[in-house]
A and B are shown apart, each in its own frame.
Chain A
Amino acid sequence: MSRLLKEILIILAISLIAGIINNSISHSRVAWVGNWPSISDAENDSIWDCLSCEPGDPPLVNLSEASALYQNPEVIFVDARFPEEYEAGHIEGAVNLPFEASDEEFDYYYAKLEQMIDSATQLVTYCSGEECESSLHLGRYLRDDKGYSHISIFYGGWRRWAEADLPTAGSGE
């Protein structure tokens, strides 16, 4: 066996051992073979693989449910992404509330939203798409810390909405 191959295999073997040990003691451990939906399923509108969702979380809505809610003018869509992402493109009429921005920035946007809604308002949170979780975290926060009980999470997010050619606004950059 060439020395190069031997060196690579030794580094990989040590990595494998360290990985096995780490994965058996870590709080974030995972199964060796994950139960990931197949790619074709994940592309399907009916399956939103919310991997961090827990029982008791606000309900997820898929694209058709989200667009049905959108027909109701009483429903407010809340965009959890950063302001620059929101400016570039968002669901038409959605209000920006950047969940991962600094506390000051978040409070600034929250104060604006607060004037538009009350505890009975139906809110739908969303972020970029299935790969982001700020819609979920924002949904939990609005319900658990701010007391809004009518919250849905549109997990397909901005990407699914834009792909479906539903109403959008923004600079398009």
Chain B
Amino acid sequence: MNGIISNKYITLSFRLILGVVFIYASIDKIAHIDQFARAIYYYHILPGWIVNVMAIVMPWAELFAGICLIVGYYPRGAAALIGIMLVMFLIALSIVYLRGVDISCGCFSVSDRAKSSALNLIWRDLILFVMTIQVYFFGRSFLSIHKLHPSESK
């Protein structure tokens, strides 16, 4: 069982899936900072002063963490950062779900059409979170740039 959980091909697949998902999720938000800020604001969770800071910085954190995971540079740091972001998304979506409010999630696209139920999004983020945990603990070296650093290749 342990062999399956730590299988390097599974880890590699999870790294690629998470990386692609996070890179894809970042593009539209980077292109439309103002609309993403609005999407964050409408969650009505964060205080107003931090909304724009999040909208300016977070999509880039998604992008760079996604790239790091795919190429295997700083894989643990990238996985930890993605895990932190997923926990934040899960908390936000759970609050929205409990409130029963219909909002545009701002997950992948900032458009008003990008709606899906909070419960589906929670399930999706939970699956991504499980992948992240696996990558965090086992995703150190296989096909990683990380390996090229002699001091870090343990």
- Residues in A lying within 8 Å of B, measured CB to CB: 3-4, 6-8, 10-12, 14-16, 18-20, 22-23, 26, 28-39, 42, 51, 100, 127-134, 159
| Sample (5) of A-B pairs whose CB atoms are under 8 Å apart | A3-B76, A28-B32, A29-B34, A30-B33, A33-B52
Given contacts A7-B76, A15-B64, 11 further A-B contacts (CB under 8 A): A6-B77, A7-B77, A11-B74, A11-B77, A15-B61, A22-B60, A23-B33, A30-B52, A31-B52, A100-B112, A100-B113
Verify B80–A34 contact, CB threshold 8 A. no
Known: A4-B77, A11-B68. A30 touches B48 (CB 8 A): no
Q: How many B residues have CB within 8 A of the partner chain?
A: 41
Compute how far the CA of A28 lies from the CA of B55 in the bound complex, rounded to whole angstroms: 11
Q: DSSP class of B's interface residues: helix, strand, loop or mixed?
A: helix
Contact of B64 among A11, A39, A134, A159 (CB under 8 A): A11
CB distance from B63 to the nearest CB of A (A): 8
Q: How far is the CB of B106 from chain A (nearest CB, A)?
A: 10
**B residues near A134, Cβ cutoff 8 Å:** 112
Pick the contact of A34: B48, B65, B81, B113 (CB < 8 A): B48
Q: Is the CB of B103 within 8 A of A131?
A: yes
Chain B residue at minimum C-beta to C-beta distance from A159: B102
Interface string of B122-150 (1 = CB under 8 A from A): 00000000000000000000000000000
Query: Contacts A15-B57, A31-B52: A128 and B102 contacting too (C-beta < 8 A)?
Result: yes
Task: Write the nearest CB–CB distance from A90 to chain B, whole angstroms.
Answer: 14
Enumerate chain B residues within 8 angstroms of A127, measured Cβ to Cβ.
Answer: 112
In the complex the two chains form, what is the Cα distance from A28 to B32 in whole Å? 6
Of the 9-residue stretches B2-10, B12-20, B36-44, B87-95, which lies at the interface with chain A? B36-44
Q: Find chain A residues with CB under 8 A from B42 CB.
A: 130-131
